[in-house]
Amino acid sequence: MHFKKRRFHPGFVFFLGLFLFATAADSSAAEKRFEIRLYGGIGYLSLNEMNDGIRGALNDMAFNRSMAENSVYNDLRMGTDFGADLIYFLTPKVGIAVGGEYIHGRKSSRHSFSGGATGFISGEPILTSIPVKAGLFLKLRLSGKLNFTAGAGVGFYHVSFDNTYAWEIKGVVPQTTERLKFSAWRPGFQMGIGFEYALGPRLAVFFEALGRLARVKGLKDTVQSNQNEAKSATLYSLEQLVDTTWFPLLDAMPAAPTGEEFRNVREAAIDLGGGRGLVGFVVRF
């Protein structure tokens, strides 16, 4: 998957049109109000390149023990999402929103084998992202207590990726671990719609369905094996030839690898694109 900026142009134009329309319709309103929105939920994370690379690395290690067909990997696809937004209403319908979120997901995979050799291969990716967001917020009354809401804006995403590979072949290879810790900042875009139900003049509950486009590259930090000193590296996505089989890999290296056994070498990207459902409370003041 490749992040294409033109994907969010239609959505941005749509919400900009709503903003201008609502502002014109309510230009005479003098009331200005603040809202704090606190929420949490579960969301889908794309992460295709990350999942393919880690799965391929486990298959690569298993292949060298003639076990490739039995190696398994659990994709990391779901994550928890918590956040808070502060909204300042320019009119009763249109506001400016700023806020932040905490997105977290992890998944463990382990393949044990026996026979000619006994041992295991495992991976445990942990992903954390903290986006800082700003955008436009629209609220339209549907009934006495029910409102329709919509919002769109940009975010600056800090992503931390932590993955530990581990393997052991008893009597041949002692238990070995390799921990990859990387982080980076990149911009993204989000938009969504929802419904809000008033419990009182200053309190409401809401549900929102949101979509996100954010592809984070340039992941640089450290890789550490067992108790050895951590070394600076860059996270790469590539394919490696083992015998006659090409495996996709996600691995840390000080520089881009070269040679006939490597192909499609590029800096890895963490794709946070996806959707999520959130529930929360609104406090007005």
In this model, does residue 17 exceed pLDDT 50?
A: yes
Number of domains in the chain: 1
Q: Among 46, 80, 33, 35, which residue's Cα sits nearest to residue 279?
A: 80
pTM of the complete model: 0.81
Segments forming the whole domain that contains residue 79: 5-284
* CA distances in angstroms from 195 to 32, 209, 281, listed in the order given: 21, 9, 12
Residue 8 has pLDDT above 70, yes or no: no
Of the listed ranges 8-17, 156-165, 203-212, 244-253, the least confidently predicted one is 8-17
Structure tokens at 68: 């490739």
pLDDT higher than 50, residue 36 = yes
Asked if residues 2 and 217 have their Cβ atoms less than 8 Å apart, the reply is: no
Residues 194, 199, 201, 202: is their CA dihedral positive or negative?
negative
Please give the pLDDT value at position 26.
47
Task: Round the average pLDDT of the chain to a whole number and report it.
Answer: 85
Return d(Cα 64, Cα 117) in angstroms, integer. Answer: 12
pLDDT at 65: 56
Side chain identity, residue 201: P
Question: CA of 71: how far to CAs of 65, 121, 163, 262, in Å?
Answer: 11, 8, 18, 22
17-26, 122-131, 132-141, 173-182: segment of lowest average pLDDT: 17-26
Dist. CA 176–CA 166, nearest whole Å: 6
Q: Strand pairing partners for 80?
A: 42, 104
Report which of residues 161 and 116 the model is more confident about.
161
Q: Is residue 188 over pLDDT 60?
A: yes
Q: How far apart are the first and last CA of the chain?
A: 43
Helices (H), 32-153: 48-63
Q: Closest by alpha carbon to 130, among 98, 102, 97, 99?
A: 102
SS3 content of the chain, % helix, strand, coil (to 5): 15, 60, 25
Q: Which CATH number is 40's domain given? A: 2.40.160.20
pLDDT at 213: 94
Mind listing the pLDDT tens digit for each residue in 102-154? 999 999 888 777 666 678 888 899 999 999 999 999 999 998 899 999 999 99
What is the arithmetic mean of pLDDT over 247-275?
A: 92
Place of tokens 């875009």: 189
pLDDT tens-digit map of 44-93:
999 999 999 888 888 777 765 555 455 667 899 999 999 999 999 999 99
Exposure pattern of 130-163 as b/e (b: 16+ CB <10 Å)?
Answer: bbebebbbbbeeeeeeebebbbbbbbebbbbbbb
Q: What does the alpha-carbon distance between residue 228 and residue 137 come to, in Å, rounded to a whole number?
A: 50
